[in-house]
């Protein structure tokens, strides 16, 4: 099983990011993981690195409930930006939400590959990697 070069986690929960760091390490799906605590920080990174494919992640794991700029607001901007990026980036929503409206909203966005309900597991990550290898 291959690894992605860079995984990106956008989530404000410090306990979750600590846990997901360990899960990503245990799953061995990424060479490097970058973290952002809100959608604005992540968007700023993408804007600054839009022409630098080496810095852009291969995979984004996005929470939807965050301060400053939530996951939906991030997605609104990211959808406009994605065609200008020189790299295809796979995006999964990872949230504690079990609201059907959130699922429906996520399914309506073509760039969202899937909606995963927390907690994220090694099995989820291996499944994600399998989907990436099929693309």
Angstrom distance (rounded) from CA 71 to CA 63: 6
* Burial track 83-108 (b if 16+ CB lie within 10 A, e otherwise): eebeeebbbbbbbebeeeebbebbee
User: Residues 17-42: pLDDT tens digits?
Assistant: 999 999 999 999 999 999 999 999 99
CA angle 92, 94, 99 (to 5 degrees): 110
Instruction: Give the model's pLDDT for residue 90.
Output: 96
Structure tokens at 125: 């990550």
Reported as a single tens digit per residue, the pLDDT across 32-83 is 999 999 999 999 999 999 999 999 999 999 999 999 999 999 999 999 999 9
């Amino acid at each position: 099983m291959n690894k992605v070069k860079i995984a990106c986690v956008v989530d404000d929960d410090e306990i979750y990011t600590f846990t997901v760091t360990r899960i990503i390490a245990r799953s061995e799906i990424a060479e490097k993981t970058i973290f952002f605590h809100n959608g604005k920080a992540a968007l700023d990174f993408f804007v600054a690195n839009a022409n630098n494919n080496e810095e852009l992640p291969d995979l984004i794991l996005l929470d939807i409930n965050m301060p400053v700029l939530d996951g939906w607001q991030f997605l609104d901007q990211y959808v406009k930006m994605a065609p200008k990026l020189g790299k295809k980036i796979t995006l999964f929503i990872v949230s504690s939400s079990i609201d059907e409206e959130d699922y429906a909203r996520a399914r309506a966005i073509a760039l969202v590959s899937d909606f995963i309900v927390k907690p994220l597991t090694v099995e989820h990550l291996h499944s994600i990697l399998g989907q990436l290898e099929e693309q």
